[in-house]
Chains A and B, each alone.
Chain A
Amino acid sequence: MDKFLTFTIVGLSLAAIYAVIASGLVLTFTTTGIFNFAHGAAGMLAAFTYWQLRFEWGWPVPVCLVLILGVMAPLFGVLLEVVVMRGLRGTTDTVKLVVSISLLLFMIGLAQLIWPPGVSRPMSKFFQTSTPINLGPTTITWHQAITIMVAIVAAIGLRLVLTRFRFGIAMRAAVDDPSLSALNGARPNRISMLAWALGTALAALGGILIAPNVTLDAPSLSLLIVSAYAAAIFGRLRSLPLTFLGAIVLGLTEGYLTGYLPQNQYLPGLRIASPALLLFLVLLVLPNPRLRGRMTRSREFFPMPSIRGTLVFGGVVIVGGVVLATTLSTPDQLTYGRLFPIGIIALSLVPLVGFAGQISLCQLSFAGIGGLVMAHLGHGGDPVALIWAVLISAAVGALIALPALRLSGIYLALGTAAFATILDRWIFTLPKFSVFGWFNVDLFTQGSINVDPLTAFGKTFNSAASQIVIGAIFFALVAFLVVMIRRGRLGRRLIAMKDSEAACATLGMNLFGTKLLVFSISAGIAGLGGALYAMQLTSIQSGNFDLVNSLQVFALSVVGGIGAVGGALFAGISLYVVLPVIGVLFPTVVRWVGLLPGATGIGLGRDPNGAVSQMRDGFAPLAGSPSSLLVMTLTLAALYGIRLIDAIDNWTFVGGLVIVPLVASVIATVSAASKERMLAQLEDAPDRTPMEWIGIDRPWTTEDLATLDLALGTSELELHGPA
């Protein structure tokens, strides 16, 4: 009984922390519609700041608390709302999610920059030296008691704010209809700022309360707080009472698992993964949301890729792979060569997220399964193992998709994140085990496992250079496959499903089958990428495929342009070319490099179509100028030749690779503009509005109607309606 009470108190104090954090999350979600993945990271930053002020500089506790909870956290929340979140109106769930994931990565990077990892930063609990309060058969520490009291005060306070105070009611009104709210004279921006200030202060409070119980480490603290998300989901991200109930269930489960879980080698991971497991289960038992009847309006548009363009793209990728393989030293090949397998994993997101609008944050988990299959079945580099990697990953993808398919939007994102966490924290850490005595499963032996290089056509591709070329060829092939999916019947179905599931259902489309298929294809592609990635690494461990890495790939793919294969290449290049190059070129700022993936994603709200679409627009005149294109290609080929004979070094070569296309593009733009002017002068027609834009760019004139009549043979017809 004493043990039960002890662990009930442990569970309740954990529940209190989860409740405080989750209520802040619910508050920002209900008032702005943005699920803030970085909510936990805000708590993490507050915990570090508290440590700095209280334990490093020795400031008094009340001063630290007032400064952090009353000033810094609310101001930080306001800053987030004004600078980042306000720009997300009119974007899809995917973009909103990526921006908040990027924010999470940025905050982790920022914390590691200010407080370098690997240093012990102990934090004592509140009133640690005071005698615990005696409750008869057990005791409760002051820290635990304060935590529980804080949660109760937060619950009552929030209830009062949201139902009794005008600004609280306005917060709820803004969720229903922000425009109507403005029509009433409320200022939606101000209300939104208040919600973010309050939400961030609650995250900070939770962070400070939980930090003394755990190691002060930026990534794990940010993601540990993710556990609180299960509580928020319990309340369907709307109901505060249910959120508090969810927090109690979650906290008590963790408490009792700590006290009563049998001591064996298979179960410690289960306790660590239990919040994620609960999150997954809660998502599955949630009532199924109704199909959205309304078409999703957004600012995202991805043009249909052409076969010719894709073939050119694939050719350029393979040539790029050959250039990397022939110009880089072996260590550089090992570093930069990873861009292709990671690019393939990013490609797996294009049909799933870009076309079908199904958010998945666990692609690296599928890649991990592919890597494991390659390690276990690919002895001697057997290429058949690659096929197995695709098939088994696709099968696991389908298995995960079955329960996850009833989810959509942010719920699906959280479900897949929970799956990734369960794999990271539990499944991938399991020692060797037997499945009903039929066969043995041995995932990461001794923490890591070796992977043999591919052998095909009697040749073993064990050099880093050959692996780069293989990676590039596979990337080009998979990119072509993805484009063919987009251009085919399946692609049309996926796009239609993304636009309006209700419309598709009424047309008789099998949504379940379509989602299952795209999930499997996507997981299969990720598995292939994982197998190739594993071969490049030669030895893999579970950390290579964890959630934080998965979030980086996801965020950068969306930043590149999630609906285009170029976006996937952008993700690979950003992670394994741009970041290492910046580190080499500017060693003094190398510590700041960790901020970049997050920083790039935060700007996404400005143009949700991604960086590749902007680049494509920028280089469009080049495609229309064969002469400029030819000169550019020849110049690049010449540069490559000069590099091969070692007449120039790699930095000059890379400089050339960047400058030559830019110059060619500028020349093509200038020449296209002058051609346009000449044509206009020749035809003496200052206005050359295309026929389809007349009536939109400018009103119809009598001359336009005459031209149209002539073309259509409708001169005898009379137009009706007022002029």
Chain B
Amino acid sequence: MITTGRILLGLALLACWEWGHRVAGNLFVASPMEVVQRLREIVEDGSLWGHAASTLWITALGFAIGFFFGVLLPFLLDQSERATKAIEPAVLASMGIPKFALAPLLILWFGIGDAPKVVIIAFMTFYMIFISTFSGLRGVDHKLIVMAKIVGADPMKLARDVLWRSLQPYMFAGLKVALPRALSAAIVGEFLVADKGLGYMIEHARQMGDTTGVFTGIVVVTALVLGLNWLLERLQAKVMAWRPKDASVAH
């Protein structure tokens, strides 16, 4: 019953799309059939892979940099209560910096290559991972640490078997938010400055008045992000089989 409803709703949405196309015209709403056709074309001529690879590359690079510092800083801060108290408000305030608004500046600094986008993605990733690692470290059950020390765990064992495992749910919560956002940051970055990538593909099509191109690009991007979400969900379920089903870290 519910599944049928879902399928029907999906079909209805498709029908709406087609109807919108007929009412609003080709300039505003591309025809679903043409989008499929275009999708086939860019898959066949290989241009989709080129754009996607470029987007995924800057996403991965920016994400890796942001992730590294986002994990490192909380661990460093964990060593000193005083340092944490001193810089916490500054870090929180710096979150107010509009990351994308840095783009024009970064372009002035680094030119129109990948660097500005990578910096923006790294910046965004950093905050999200920082927050989840930070609250994760605070959330470690102190009694488990005491227990591990008593039974003879050395600092390495403690870090690996208690701290890291305690952090995992927070890490995943952070990852699930950060990774798709890093991808969409890459795409928005490509709206602003690029000569390749999925974002460029969409924005270029818009500037050319190629509505079918815009729609096709958005379909691809949406599918990519949703696919990524799904993958992360699966991975999390696998890695954290030890958790009771209903417990989850809100993000």
Q: Is B truly associated with A?
A: no
Contact residues of B with A, CB < 8 Å? none
